[in-house]
Amino acid sequence: MSEQVAIDALGTRGDGIARQPTTVFVPFALPGERVTIERQGGRGQLLSVDAPSPDRREAPCPHFGRCGGCDLQHLSDDLYATFKRDLVVDALSREGLSPDVAPLVPCDPASRRRAVFTAVRAGPRVLFGFHEALSHRIAPIETCLVVVPEIVARLKRFERLATLLIDRKRELRMTVTRTTTGLDVAIEQTAKLTGDLRQATIAWGAEDGAVARLSVDGETLIENRVPVIDVAGIAVPFPPGAFLQAVGRAEEHMAEIALAHLAPSKSVADLFSGFGAFSLRLAQRHAVHAAEFDAPALAALEKAKRGASGLKPIAIERRDLYRRPLTVKELSKFDGVLFDPPRAGAEAQSRELAASTVKRIAAVSCNPVTLARDAAILVGGGYRLLSVTPIDQFLWSHHVEAVALFER
C-alpha cells in the first residue's frame, strides 16, 4: 500500500528520513519534499516526488537509481557539500568535539583512478558492473561518470574478460587501476585456469597496449610494463590490485594538509603506511619510520626509496598495528605521527598515542565515525584538535575522507 510522507532530513547514507507517522528511510528523497512511497519494513521505495525540493537536480548518469556506486547525484552542489561536511561535524559532535571543520574539498568527475567491478552468472548471461545499493544484485553498466576515461573506454573489453574467466558459482571481482605506465588489471575468484583458458586470457591482454599487467588470483599472466604510481615525482612499483587513494588529487590534498602540520617535526612515524604515499613525501624533509602489515606494499616502498634520490632515511617495519600498536616507549623516538588506517580506525594505536609525548599528529580517515572516536581518545589524553578538513574522493556517494590535526 502506498502512502505520502514528508522528508525531514538526510541520513548518514544519504537516504531521506521521514519521521511521521513512524520513521522510514527513503532512498533518493530530499529534506522538505513530500513523496509517495511503499513501505518495506523500515525502508520506503520511492514511487513519486509530489513536492520536490529546490535542491533536487536531474541526475547526470543513466544508471543512477540502480547502480549502487552513486547515491547522491540528485543533490544540488550546495546541499551535497553541506551534507558531506555535516557527516564529519555530526560524528565529532557525538563524541563531544567541536573543532574548526573546513568546507568540503571537492572532487572532479572522471577522476577516480581505481574501480572494482563484479561479475556474476545469471542463467546463460553474465552480468558485469557494480552492486546495486544494499544488494547482492549486479547493475550492468555501459558508462561511469566518476572513473577515469581510460577505464570507462574499455568497459566492454573488461566485460569480455569477465565472461571468459567467470566461475559457475562465485562472483568474480576485477580491480582496474590506472597507473602512469598503463592499466593494472587484477582479477580474483575466477574459474580454474586450464591451459586453453590461460592462453585465451593472455591473448585478451595482448590485444590492448594500454594494459600494463594482468594478474589472475595472484598469478601474473602478462606484464608488458611494470605498473608505476607517481608519488610526488617518485616512481613506486604498484603491487597487483593494491590499495591506493582512489583519486590522485585527493591524495595530494591530504598530503599537503598533513605535511604542513608536521613540518616542524624532525622524526615522523607513518603508521598504516601502505606503499608509502605519505612516507615518501615526508622523507623529503623528515626521517620516517613506516609501519604496515601488507608485505607487497612494503616491498614496493623499499624499491621506491632505493630508486629515489635526496630522501631522508626511511625505516620500514612490517607490523600488525591492530594487534601490536607502537607503544608509548617506541613513540618517544618521534615528535610527529601520521596515521591512515582502514575504516575500522586506529583505536589501539590512538590509546598509545594519547599517553605519549608526540608533539604533532595528523590523522587521515575514510570513516568519520571511527575518526571521531580516535580523536576523542587523543583529546582525552591531552591533545588539542586543531582542525578537520573533509575531502571528497568518492564523488556522488555518501563516503567522505577527512584529515584531522592534533597538537599536544
Residue 257 confidence (pLDDT)? 98
Per CATH, 82-108+244-407 and 114-229 having the same topology is answered no
User: Would you say 340 is a known binding-site residue?
Assistant: yes
User: Where do the domains of the chain lie?
Assistant: 1-56, 82-108+244-407, 114-229
Give the integer Cα–Cα distance in Å for 35 and 28: 10
Give the integer Cα–Cα distance in Å for 361 and 201: 47
134 pLDDT above the threshold of 80: no
User: Would you say 292 is a known binding-site residue?
Assistant: yes
88 or 139, greater pLDDT: 88
Q: State pTM to two decimals.
A: 0.94
User: Would you say 100 is a known binding-site residue?
Assistant: no
Q: How many CB atoms lie within 10 A of CB 346?
A: 25
pLDDT tens per residue across span 47-75: 999 999 999 999 999 999 999 889 999 99
Give residue 168's pLDDT band: very low, low, confident or very high (50, 70, 90): confident
pLDDT tens per residue across span 193-233: 989 999 999 999 888 899 999 999 999 999 999 999 999 99
pLDDT tens per residue across span 343-354: 999 999 999 999
Q: What would the grid cell of residue 154 be?
A: 574499455
The domain made up of 114-229 has a fold known as OB fold (Dihydrolipoamide Acetyltransferase, E2P) (2.40.50)
The domain made up of 1-56 has a fold known as OB fold (Dihydrolipoamide Acetyltransferase, E2P) (2.40.50)
pLDDT tens per residue across span 241-270: 889 999 999 999 999 999 999 999 999 999
pLDDT tens per residue across span 398-407: 999 999 999 9
Give the integer Cα–Cα distance in Å for 345 and 366: 9
- b/e burial code for range 299-312 (CB count within 10 A of at least 16 → b): ebbbbbbeebeebe
pLDDT tens per residue across span 263-293: 999 999 999 999 999 999 999 999 999 999 9
Residue 159 confidence (pLDDT)? 96
The domain made up of 82-108+244-407 has a fold known as Rossmann fold (3.40.50)
Task: Give the torsion sign (CA, 328, 256, 237, 193).
Answer: positive
Active site residue 366: yes
Among residues 61, 67, 144, 366, the one annotated as catalytic is: 366
